[in-house]
Structures are given as structure tokens and as C-alpha cells.
Chains A and B, each alone.
Chain A
Amino acid sequence: MLGLKDFKIIVRDLGLLLMLVGLTMSVPIVLSLIYPDSYGTFDDFAIIGALMVAIGAACYFSIGDSGEMSLKHAIALMVLFWPLAGLFSAIPLYTYGVAPTFLDAYFEGLSGWTTTGLTTIGVNADSFPHSINMWRGMLQYMGGLGVILISIVVLAQARTGSESISLVASEFAPGERIRPGIWSTAKILVTLFLSFLFICSLILLIAGMDLFDSIFYAMTGLGTGGFSAYSDSIAHFDSGIIEIATVIVMIIGSTNFAIHLTILSGNYREILRNIETRTFIVFVTLFTTIGAIWLWSATSTSSGAALFDSFYHIVSGMTTTGWTIVPNGDMPAAFPAFFIFLITLCMIMGGNSVSTAGGIRQVRIALMIKSIWWHIRRTLSPRTVVFPRSYHHIVKKTVTDSRMMDIYMFVSIYLLTLLISTLVLMAHGYNLDNSYFESASALTSGGMSFGITSTAAEDGVKIMLMIDMWVGRIEIIPVLMFFASFSRRFK
């Protein structure tokens, strides 16, 4: 059970993180001095940024050294950080007036930090000041990096490698880390993430975007968030080269960072051997083919357009980015329900494990498929025969029954959450299709909207989708553990 001493440790570390987030508001503050359309946002960002730093510093320095972080503290920190960061980040959006209600601003803040990309106010993004749009982009960039860093640094400090708590932490279990020390791993990841931002911005700039857009879209793409500075997403640019460039950014963001580092260290064969890259390539090819055939058969689209539309949206779905090249972002009007279902399936499958993407994740999907074959082989063979159950991810890894149990438990709870969310949306009067698509989009951090998310939606709908984004980002089980830690049964 969490006691006063535990709360002190949690508040101290949350204070540190809040302070860091407050400091990052210096970027929109600088932009509000540069861009004339952003002059009016200076006060909002400066006051809130200073407030965050002050509150964070007060929590951190007044508590000081109050003990070592343990597993329950790490879980609490992971669970509480996203809603807290989203709450403070939303304040400038509300005080400046781009969000009509504070709930809409909070929705945007949480959607940014969880790298979901669903937005109620995004239809007016064209008219937002540059500083506001940059802040939206930064939320997704920091959210993407944050989900990896918090899992690695915090959970590894708490000395756990359990998949049921964090897939990221389990992939960085002792002996399998990409670098021996946790802090050196974190430093490498931050350097790599910044390098990707630089290169991706450059690619988008060369592809035809202006400087601001190239940095904004590199941020939201690497975070696999999918916010857009325009109401009609990537369709705004109406450029094939930009569309291909954004595909590259999405794939980089959703690729396992351990794979990035392995490739950058010169081991190019890892791309073709790794279980996650293989699964990604196979499923994107399969779904792109099915989607292209369906779009060509069921609509009046030409074969070339059907092929590219299918490829773009399948990648956008599977990387859980949520960008679209449909005019006005009107997915239900542009695509038949079958193709939208296919995209939803991709979002549920998700991207690689140690990446900014969401969903069930490729490694779990691959192991579930493999486990079916393992089960058949074991059932049909004599009991005395022992089969190796392993897969290749950087090194050869053995799969235990307990790991498979963790995976199946996670997937069951994930799908149950999707079902509950769908029911809640249906209770608000939406039909099954839209309720299911929108719930999946929020839970998987996919972010494509199928028409429900808007400022006009009821508060209950927005709150349900916010809960989906929150629990989906931290993979549900830590939330259950956090609430269980208040019980007297867990002393």
C-alpha cells in the first residue's frame, strides 16, 4: 500500500519532470517573439512555463532525497506523468483561446503527450499562431521520446524486466540492453532522436515543405503522433514527393530504436533478420495488396491511386501516426468500410516495441502467431520431445510460458478495453462502426478520426477517448497496478 513516504518520492520525481517540461516552453516563447501572428501567445507560454518550473522545483527541492525508487513508485510515476503533463500543456491552448473549453484543450494536450493525434480543435489548425502549432508538435515529439525514456530509465531503475509492466522495459531487460548503463542508453537515445529530427526535417524541407512545416511534421511524424498544422493533414500539400517523405518519417518513428542503433553500428543484416522488421514488412505488403485490390474493385479509383492510397494509409495506421492524404480528412466519405476496417486492424497491431508507436506491437503479434505453430507442433509430437521456442531480436531470445502468458493477458485486457470504449461511445448515440473505429484510434494512439472527435462531441465521449489515450499509451496493466497499490492487500 502506498504510504506518505512513497507519495514524497513520487511527487519529487513528478516535480523534476514537470520542471523539465516547463523549460521546453522556452521554444514557443522564442517563436512568439519571432512570428508576428504569435506575439499574443508570449504571456500564455511565459506564465505557464514559469509556473511549471516553479511548481516542479518546489516539489523537487523541498522534498529532496527521500529514498530509493522502487517498482511501485516507478509505476505511479509512469501512470501519473501523462495526465499531469497533458494538463499543464493544455493551459496555454485554453488561455490563448484556440480551444473553446478547457476539456478540448486538455484533450489536445493529452492527445499530444500520448502521441495519439486525435484532435477536436485541429479543424482550425490553419489559423493557429506558429508558436501554438509548434507547441502541439513538440508535445508529440516529447511524448514519443518520453514513453521510451520513462520506461527504460524509470522501470529499469526499479529493476524490473516484466512484460506485463512494460514491453519497453522487458526488451531492455538486464543483459539485453543496447548499452550497459541505463543513463548512457538514455543519452544515446536522446542523441539519436535529435539526429533523426534534424535529418527528417531536412528531407521534408528538400521535398518541398517550408522550414516551419518541415520541423513540425518531422516532430509529429517521429513521435508517430499525426498532429497537423493544417485541417486536411498531409493532403494539404498535394505533393507525391512530400507524401513519400512523410512515409519515411513515419517508418523511422515506429522502428525499434534498438534496431536503429544496431543498424547504425554497421550490422545491416539485422533489418532482414529481426522479428519486428520482418513482421512489419510482411503485414504492410499483405494489407497494402488487399487494400489496393479492394479500393480498385469497390470504387472508381485508378489502379495507381488505389495502390498508393492503400500503401499510405496502411503505413499511417500500422505506425499509429494517423496522417491521411484524403481531401478534408474525410475518411468515411473517401473509403469503403472494408478498407477503414483494414486500417483499424493495422492500428491495433501497431508498430515496433521500443518505438514511439502504439498498438499491440509487432513483437507480440509475431510471438502470438509463432505460438500457434509451437502449440500445434507440441500437441502432435511425443511428450518427450522438447522444441526450442525462440526468436531473433538483436540477439536470439528464448520465449518462456510466462512471457506468452503476459502477452495473451495483455491482448485480452487491451481488446476488452476496446470493447468497453466502443460500448460507451455507442451509448452516446453513435453507430457501431464509428464507435469502434474511433475507440481503436484513441486506444492504439493511431489518431485517425472517423467523424466522432470534434468540439461538438459530448463531454462523456471526449472523456472516454481521453481515458483510452491514457491507458493505451502506458499499456493498461500499469494503471491497474497503480490502483491496486492503494489496497491494503499489497503492503
Chain B
Amino acid sequence: MVRRPASMGQLVKDSLSLVGGILLEIMFILWTIILIMGTAGIALLVWQLVG
């Protein structure tokens, strides 16, 4: 069976979907950074208040 090359439209759609997915993942990483810094920040604040 001869494999037909993907159309340019499909290629652009796949690329945009990949880039969109990566950007969404980066948003999640940013959210994780805020979560970690927030938790550590609160713990540091509690330490300062108690100490």
C-alpha cells in the first residue's frame, strides 16, 4: 500500500495542536511553581512567626 503524504493543512493543524499542548503544559508548570513557592512561603512565614 502506498502511503499518501499528509496534506499541508493537516500538518499545520498538527503543529498548532502540538504547540498549544506544550503551552498548556507550561501553564501547568507555572501553576506548580506558584504552588510550591506558596507552600514553602507559608511554611517560612509560620516559622518566622513561631520562632
Q: A199 on the interface (CB 8 Å rule)? A: yes
A127 to B43, CA, bound (A): 43
Q: Which of B22, B24, B44 contacts A292 (CB 8 A)?
A: B44
- In the bound complex, residues from chain A placing their C-beta under 8 Å from that of B37 are 288, 307-308, 311
- In the bound complex, residues from chain A placing their C-beta under 8 Å from that of B35 are 281, 285
**Is there an interface contact between B36 and A288, defined as CB atoms closer than 8 Å?**
yes
User: Would you list which residues of chain B between 7 and 23 have a CB under 8 Å from chain A?
Assistant: 18-19, 21-23
- In the bound complex, residues from chain A placing their C-beta under 8 Å from that of B48 are 296, 303
**Is there an interface contact between B40 and A288, defined as CB atoms closer than 8 Å?**
yes
**Is there an interface contact between A311 and B25, defined as CB atoms closer than 8 Å?**
no
- In the bound complex, residues from chain A placing their C-beta under 8 Å from that of B30 are 248
**Is there an interface contact between A251 and B29, defined as CB atoms closer than 8 Å?**
yes
Q: Which of A191, A244, A264, A310 contacts B40 (CB 8 A)?
A: A310
**Is there an interface contact between B28 and A268, defined as CB atoms closer than 8 Å?**
yes
- In the bound complex, residues from chain B placing their C-beta under 8 Å from that of A264 are 18, 21-22, 25
A297 to B47, CA, bound (A): 10
For residue B24, give the distance in angstroms from its CB to the closest CB of chain A: 8
Q: A184 on the interface (CB 8 Å rule)? A: no
- In the bound complex, residues from chain B placing their C-beta under 8 Å from that of A268 are 24, 28
User: Would you list which residues of chain A between 40 and 73 have a CB under 8 Å from chain B?
Assistant: none
- In the bound complex, residues from chain B placing their C-beta under 8 Å from that of A192 are 18
What DSSP secondary structure best describes chain A's contact surface? Answer: helix
From A264, which residue of chain B is reached at the shortest CB distance? B21
A34 to B36, CA, bound (A): 43
A306 to B24, CA, bound (A): 29
From A271, which residue of chain B is reached at the shortest CB distance? B28
Q: Which of A191, A199, A284 contacts B23 (CB 8 A)?
A: A199
Given contacts A247-B33, A248-B30, A284-B36, are A293 and B43 in contact (CB under 8 A)? yes
For residue A326, give the distance in angstroms from its CB to the closest CB of chain B: 19
**Is there an interface contact between A289 and B40, defined as CB atoms closer than 8 Å?**
yes
- In the bound complex, residues from chain B placing their C-beta under 8 Å from that of A244 are 33
User: Would you list which residues of chain A between 264 and 285 have a CB under 8 Å from chain B?
Assistant: 264, 268, 271, 281, 284-285
- In the bound complex, residues from chain B placing their C-beta under 8 Å from that of A281 are 32, 35-36
- In the bound complex, residues from chain A placing their C-beta under 8 Å from that of B29 are 248, 251-252
User: Would you list which residues of chain A between 230 and 270 have a CB under 8 Å from chain B?
Assistant: 244, 247-248, 251-252, 260, 263-264, 268
A311 to B29, CA, bound (A): 14
For residue A271, give the distance in angstroms from its CB to the closest CB of chain B: 6
**Is there an interface contact between B44 and A289, defined as CB atoms closer than 8 Å?**
yes
**Is there an interface contact between B18 and A195, defined as CB atoms closer than 8 Å?**
yes
**Is there an interface contact between A199 and B32, defined as CB atoms closer than 8 Å?**
no
Q: Digit string of B37-51 for contact with A (CB within 8 Å is 1, else 0)?
A: 101110111011001
Q: Which of B21, B33, B45 contacts A263 (CB 8 A)?
A: B21
A-B contact pairs, 24 of them (CB 8 A): A195-B22, A199-B19, A199-B22, A247-B33, A248-B29, A248-B30, A252-B29, A263-B25, A263-B28, A264-B21, A264-B22, A264-B25, A268-B24, A271-B28, A281-B32, A281-B35, A285-B35, A285-B39, A289-B44, A292-B40, A297-B51, A303-B48, A307-B41, A308-B37
A: which residues have CB within 8 A of B? 191-192, 195-196, 199, 203, 244, 247-248, 251-252, 260, 263-264, 268, 271, 281, 284-285, 288-289, 292-293, 296-297, 303, 306-308, 310-311
What are the nearest 8 A-B pairs in CB distance? A264-B21, A288-B40, A289-B40, A289-B43, A285-B36, A292-B44, A199-B22, A293-B47
